[in-house]
Structure 1
């Protein structure tokens, strides 16, 4: 009998790790962008002939805050840190940005679609929703004694008399003019806004899915390009924004006329006529033959996440045969499913196959124009996985924040406990406070208390998982001191914004008061960036660590 492996014991760390996994970033990128925009392509031959001239140009761009030349590069970092660090970090995601008038496709639980601009979504997400009607009552009434129309408006408890008028139209005009001159609208915070989901796509099957919005971010003023497709779709975004193409993900700035992007479309819904009965029976026989090998004696249903004995489980095609016949004999497409879940899923698949009709998919749309489109405020979304994409003006784009998900895997018990160098005591008031070292007793209390809470929280988490509670529910008991990991992509300009706010430095013109843990991440990113772009890094420090 196979013994159940012992659950992992909690471990504790006090460090942060940052790994530069890929990049296309050098000082030459800045010089190339700056000189091409003013002197043309022939200036590229001069890049390495006069180092001092190059140094002076970068310093000039930094000093006079010409920001766009610093955006034509890219760095992707893999970061391991506690959850509370990421809650601050993702506000500084960079590069991948959309124009404010970009329409995001939202999808309800019932599958109904609607569109909202990303700027409006940001305003409602962070600042609430304004009522359409003003805080005023009253209007136009007939004054029988005078034989005229009376106009008046009650506003915040005060009646404003607007006189008698010969015609109703004149009285109504007076009321409208008053309300235009005295706008008063209520601001409501709607919880439903934060429950919005977006239409996204499975990147393997290209079928439409639904994903929850995690955050909406204002990303700053950026240089934009406009991509126009043969179907009339237009996408205005930064050059670094990732766009889905038939060949995979590609930066918007690398796309050319004649290339294709994946956009919202439809395809014929699969029919059971596409799978002959004989072939269907053969697939069933082959699948049953894999059962003993692919299902453990004690295994978990991939649909409801509950544990079962092998005899209570069947092998299920994760991507149904009616959706993709080529995956019918693919072992990686098989997973255990309990009898109830398997029956429910199979019935739904058969009903869908017999129904025919159309299904939402992503389809190629050829690019007919790519042009520069000025600078303006930009925005971005962070959405849940596993696909991390969404529709922007009908084109499939990616979000730039990929964090380890507690919905799809069991989170590991690695927790943060500050070491003795972490200052524990805050003195002063907000805006003028400082941190000082704690006593030995305070450090001992902090370490002991954190460890106790972490152990109890993770024990509860494991207990809930063992009882069949879904991972996405059980993770709610875990504290923010849990370590997670993520990929973050940025360019030099946005990284400078991040460092200016999240690190302290003697050369900084503007003081910053970052939490020490996110400063540790910033210091590690800064160390690696300084090696890639030494001239840009020197100019950043020489000009007070203010991003251009």
Structure 2
């Protein structure tokens, strides 16, 4: 085995770190939320009058399972841990979720939009593959100009147009009805849904983009609220789910009638004639002058991820000059691009301008109604950055879990090896088992086996990158013991749910048997939370560590 270069030599660690990076959380938030209905504006004064009364109120809310007052706060943690910990974190996270019938807007590479419910995406992602026929062979597609679904089939070398329909179900039914007396003998092509991209939005310019789905999560049965906007859009989500507003991200439960949310819209697409030829040439000259400074001797195309020498790369305006002239001389809007991707992107931008004369943007949509909407199974998406948002029934929403991406940067060789205090041997059966310390021989073989496999895997990763293989492909050889990082946002109620599942505690009414590494994350998050909200934390423990 060849020696690994010093700058990329794997390192090993057993510590998992959790930092609180920002918060708006305190016991006063719980007290204010509980008392505002009876004390109104005086509720803030009531909080400071009687500390013992405040302690009793929080304990009462916890004991009698009044959960909503514990949701009016927010904590964002930065977690550094092995990848397998994040897989556990995603399975057991709570909070930011939407109803299963919510339609997600998907966008193809050519810009074609279609919609699918998040429950369907979950089923296809985890249990199936998408059964899809090309349009020429028959199928249902979204017809943007009319705002309806179109259905057509192909039989005996002829296309049969079946009409426009108000919803997808009606269009699907029309295709089925036609096929029954006229069955097709063509073999269908199965396409993995894991290649799917969603429509997302640049949160600075509010222009539309697309992002790859990285996971679809089933989050359990939770209470929902329904938000209805002036344009007729409906969003059914948990109160924690983050929604984009003109003032930034806000929790759905914090919104009120009269507030606005950002929703899908269009603006007139600027014509190239709006940028004078002389100014266009000047922008081109200035952009060319930045090549030597902003493109490395060997660099990657920001669109396809492949590595190229500087001579084969140009600088691309990520947000086109025609889309936002104010960013024409903004260095942060420049990124390396290969000749092929540059030509394709330019053609798509020009084609869009000629075809529609409009550009997709997000615009405010006023809320006209908010109401409780029962309980049912909920779901969430994780999407790649940089924006981590998507359209849910036409409204811009966020995911709560942003993990470091191995698609856009080379992953560093830092790997997890259990410390000597990590118990290695499992005894008993699931639900009844316990872990005990391993022998010196078991500790030695664990460390040696992990070290050897990590080094071999990272050497293979480096070899693939050196050969020009894209990062998103090469990372497949890396093990789940690789350290990664993420931002996770929650409120006190959702954190208590997480702690009840992922930590062991002598005061817990319901026993839990978490993997030790995810428990370490929970313990560190709890340490930060206990300092911010000591009365709430004490009531949580006193009432059996069951979230309200």
Shift of 1:99: 3.9
Decide which moves more: 272-281 or 112-121: 112-121
> How many equivalent residue pairs?
484
CA distance in 2, matches of 1:332, 1:126: 37
Residues 322 and 349 in structure 1, CA contact (< 8 A), matched pair in contact too: no
TM-score, normalised via structure 2 length: 0.80
Query: What SS is found at the alignment partner of 2:335?
Result: strand
Tell me the equivalent position of 1:369: 368
Greater Rg by CA: 1
Give the direction of change, closer, same or farther, for the CA distance of 1:352–1:227 in structure 2 (3 Å limit). Answer: closer
CA distance in 2, matches of 1:372, 1:515: 39
Give the direction of change, closer, same or farther, for the CA distance of 1:536–1:112 in structure 2 (3 Å limit). Answer: same
Decide which moves more: 44-53 or 348-357: 348-357
Tell me the equivalent position of 1:326: 326
CA distance in 2, matches of 1:193, 1:356: 28
Tell me the equivalent position of 1:542: 542
Counterparts of residues 126-525 of structure 1 (less than 5 Å): 192=192, 194-220=194-220, 224-355=224-355, 357-365=357-365, 367-373=366-372, 375-377=374-376, 378-525=378-525
Query: What SS is found at the alignment partner of 1:66?
Result: coil
Tell me the equivalent position of 1:164: none
Residues 256 and 370 in structure 2, CA contact (< 8 A), matched pair in contact too: no
CA distance in 2, matches of 1:418, 1:372: 48
Shift of 1:253: 4.1
CA distance in 2, matches of 1:389, 1:483: 25
Give the direction of change, closer, same or farther, for the CA distance of 1:528–1:375 in structure 2 (3 Å limit). Answer: farther
Query: What SS is found at the alignment partner of 1:48?
Result: helix
Query: What SS is found at the alignment partner of 1:476?
Result: helix
Shift of 1:39: 5.9
Decide which moves more: 218-227 or 411-420: 218-227
Shift of 1:109: 4.9
Give deviations 1:238-271, integer Å, cap 9, x for gaps: 4432222334323334445554322111223342
Q: Which runs of 5+ in 2 are unaligned?
A: 132-189
CA distance in 2, matches of 1:380, 1:387: 16
Query: What SS is found at the alignment partner of 2:49?
Result: coil
Shift of 1:221: 5.5
Query: What SS is found at the alignment partner of 1:379?
Result: strand
Q: Which runs of 5+ in 1 are unaligned?
A: 132-189
Decide which moves more: 456-465 or 313-322: 313-322
Residues 95 and 494 in structure 1, CA contact (< 8 A), matched pair in contact too: yes
Give the direction of change, closer, same or farther, for the CA distance of 1:226–1:306 in structure 2 (3 Å limit). Answer: closer
CA distance in 2, matches of 1:342, 1:213: 24
Shift of 1:225: 4.5
C-alpha RMSD of the superposition: 2.8
Give the direction of change, closer, same or farther, for the CA distance of 1:267–1:43 in structure 2 (3 Å limit). Answer: closer
CA distance in 1, matches of 2:122, 2:208: 24
Give the direction of change, closer, same or farther, for the CA distance of 1:294–1:219 in structure 2 (3 Å limit). Answer: closer
CA distance in 2, matches of 1:355, 1:457: 48
Tell me the equivalent position of 1:529: 529
Query: What SS is found at the alignment partner of 2:518?
Result: helix
Decide which moves more: 499-508 or 240-249: 240-249
Shift of 1:124: 5.8
Shift of 1:106: 3.0
CA distance in 2, matches of 1:547, 1:193: 35
TM-score, normalised via structure 1 length: 0.80
CA distance in 1, matches of 2:432, 2:361: 54
Tell me the equivalent position of 2:142: none
CA distance in 1, matches of 2:20, 2:47: 26
Give the direction of change, closer, same or farther, for the CA distance of 1:396–1:453 in structure 2 (3 Å limit). Answer: same
Shift of 1:496: 1.2
